[in-house]
Amino acid sequence: MIHSKNGIHAIGLTGIRQTWNPSPARTIEIAICRGEGQLTAGGAFLAVTSPFTGRSPQDKFVVREPSSADKIWWGKVNQPLDPDKFEVLAQDVKAYLNTKELFIRDVYAGADPAYRLNVRLISESAWHTLFAYNQFIRPYPADLADFEPSFTILHAPEFHPDPQRHGTRKPAGGPTAVIALNFAQRLVIIAGTRYAGEIKKSIFTAMNYLLPLQGVFPMHCAANVGPAGDTALFFGLSGTGKTTLSADHNRSLIGDDEHGWSDAGVFNFEGGCYAKVIRLSKEAEPEIYATLSQFGTVLENVVMDPDTHQLDLDSEEITENTRAAYPIHFIPNFVATGTAGHPRNILFLTADAFGVLPPISKLTLEQAVYFFLSGYTAKLAGTERGVTEPQATFSTCFGAPFMVHFPTLYAEMLAERLNRHKCTVWLVNTGWSGGPYGVGHRIKIAYTRAMVTAALDGTLAAVPTRPDPVFGIHVPEHCPGVPSDVLQPRNTWTDKAAYDVKARELAAKFVENFAQFEAQVSPTVAEAGPRVRGGA
């Protein structure tokens, strides 16, 4: 265990005992002795986070303070918290943590040292510090002695805030929770929820605020690079396929979720992956599947046989949102530096619950900005509390819960880079075909992989395209390994008239949603969206 010289007394914390930066093996040993989880038959550590088994965006707040108030996109995503309420919350959480054994983990966020954030997690839970060790970039032991945090997370999953005292949400039923960010103090407080994803996403939110102020474009995307050095980005919300499609044995993985794009190229924010594993297939996703049997992997909410400790990856008994968190080097072909050059191809992933978007299409620059700001997909079951089946949603920048500035700032950064680096942008529907959710079926992953491969290796660039009559996006006429009918979604529907109705219905939702951005974008971008009155 390596103890930083820069302790935690300065922020009013001591705890009854402190454990600093223990090895993964020691952390697991401690966590099991404390009853925080169990070892699986394959050697991974398994924890259950009920009742919170997904992010809780309604419980996320940003402190409204002078240094950042005029830069924040205030509203449902960034709910304001009164500074005085935050101070009371911070005092109460510190007083609570001082009655506990504390586990401290020092890590980096950002593979490029020029834009790196030093993060200190202080938790009452040992296994959550292993999650952070897996997810973030691990400092060398020599770097830990003088580690100085530039952002600190106070993590008290068993402390439930008082809505009246702390200014947090009062839920209709169930326990209270809070995720509160104070940019002036460089402090995050996470309380009342064991779901580990809140740790990584709070720092992603911080990076989304800080990096644009330094001229760096922060992105909710996966990234990989081909043998020829061609970088590809995969934008999309949780469950749309970022982790799955970026883990390609023919390409090297830079990261599966969060990246920055600077003048030097692309860099990963993290040092690990956080994969959904419900119904994970050894045949379809062998690299991710193999991580489930590696010592050091952290599993969340996966069902396990109480006797044999074998996993049941098909079970939704706890949640649909079962997860595996593992260091990126558990994937065989990873990029050790976490960095790569400027992207050649960019893919927007969407799980279309209406079943009307083509499985792949090419976008103009204006369409790319339009679809980026729209961020259409379906929220998949379990990703957020209360979501039990896919729901059509628009999550701007393919990551609204984590955007801090007004969305058009991120869109302008994207457009400038697309224009400067001449990137090709593709819209990939990993959702439904042959009908909407409940009638049609998910597009086969083998087809999606074939289309993505053809896009990245340049094959699709030479294929003629046909504009979709409603959405205007450019659909390739053929693709190796994919039946032609699959490329045209209307052809997969038995009832063509029903398709026409559903396509216009979705187009109307796009137009309604985009109205909030029309005054801030150019007319060419506003006009790049679907035609509501279009027909097939």
Is 448 part of any known ligand binding site? yes
Q: Whole-angstrom Cα distance, residue 138 to residue 358?
A: 40
Burial environment of residue 48 by CB neighbours within 10 A (0 to 12, 13 to 18, 19 or more) = middle
Range list of β-strands (E), 305-422: 311-312, 323-327, 339-340, 343-350, 360-363, 376-379, 391-394
Is 236 part of any known ligand binding site? yes
Is 55 part of any known ligand binding site? yes
The catalytically annotated residue of 4, 40, 55, 92 is 55
Q: Output DSSP code: residue 400.
A: G
Is 238 part of any known ligand binding site? yes
Catalytic residue flag (residue 220): yes
Is 466 part of any known ligand binding site? no
The catalytically annotated residue of 238, 262, 339, 361 is 238
- Amino acid identity, residue 209? Y
Is 166 part of any known ligand binding site? no
- Amino acid identity, residue 123? S
Q: Whole-angstrom Cα distance, residue 325 to residue 302?
A: 12
Is 509 part of any known ligand binding site? no
> Residue 312: beta bridge partners?
303
Is 257 part of any known ligand binding site? yes
Is 220 part of any known ligand binding site? yes
Residues 6+ apart with CB under 8 A from 33: none
Angle formed by the axes of helices 126-135 and 197-210, nearest 10°: 50
Is 195 part of any known ligand binding site? yes
Is 442 part of any known ligand binding site? yes
The catalytically annotated residue of 120, 155, 201, 405 is 201
Catalytic residue flag (residue 201): yes
Taking the chain, what is the end-to-end CA distance rounded to the nearest angstrom? 64
Q: Which among 228, 236, 289, 265 is positioned nearest to 111, based on CA atoms?
A: 265
The catalytically annotated residue of 194, 323, 379, 509 is 323
User: Does the CA dihedral 295-297-299-302 come out positive or negative?
Assistant: negative
**Token output for 191:** 């309380």
Catalytic residue flag (residue 262): no
The catalytically annotated residue of 128, 194, 242, 502 is 242
Q: Which among 182, 75, 181, 82 is positioned nearest to 407, based on CA atoms?
A: 75
Chain Cα centroid distance, residue 340: 20
In the block, tokens 């996470």 appear at 190
Is 375 part of any known ligand binding site? no
- Pseudo-torsion of CA 39, 280, 266, 181, nearest 10°? -60
**Token output for 412:** 């302008």
SS3 state of residue 95: helix
Chain Cα centroid distance, residue 166: 28
Q: Whole-angstrom Cα distance, residue 341 to residue 51?
A: 42
The catalytically annotated residue of 230, 257, 352, 500 is 257
> Residue 265: beta bridge partners?
262
Is 42 part of any known ligand binding site? no
Q: Whole-angstrom Cα distance, residue 310 to residue 327?
A: 22
SS3 state of residue 450: helix
Catalytic residue flag (residue 238): yes
Catalytic residue flag (residue 71): no
The catalytically annotated residue of 85, 220, 259, 509 is 220
Q: Whole-angstrom Cα distance, residue 139 to residue 106?
A: 8
Catalytic residue flag (residue 27): no
Catalytic residue flag (residue 243): yes
Is 9 part of any known ligand binding site? no
- Amino acid identity, residue 215? G
Catalytic residue flag (residue 55): yes
Q: Whole-angstrom Cα distance, residue 307 to residue 216?
A: 50
Is 478 part of any known ligand binding site? no
- Pseudo-torsion of CA 350, 355, 360, 361, nearest 10°? -100
Find the DSSP H helices in 364-444: 365-374, 407-421
- Pseudo-torsion of CA 198, 199, 203, 206, nearest 10°? 50
The catalytically annotated residue of 129, 202, 243, 377 is 243
Would you name the residues annotated as active-site residues? 55, 201, 220, 238, 242-243, 257, 323
Residues that constitute the known binding site for ATP: 201, 220, 236-244, 285, 323, 442-443, 448
Residues that constitute the known binding site for substrate: 55, 195, 201, 323
Residues that constitute the known binding site: 55, 195, 201, 220, 236-244, 257, 285, 323, 442-443, 448
Residues that constitute the known binding site for Mn(2+): 201, 220, 257
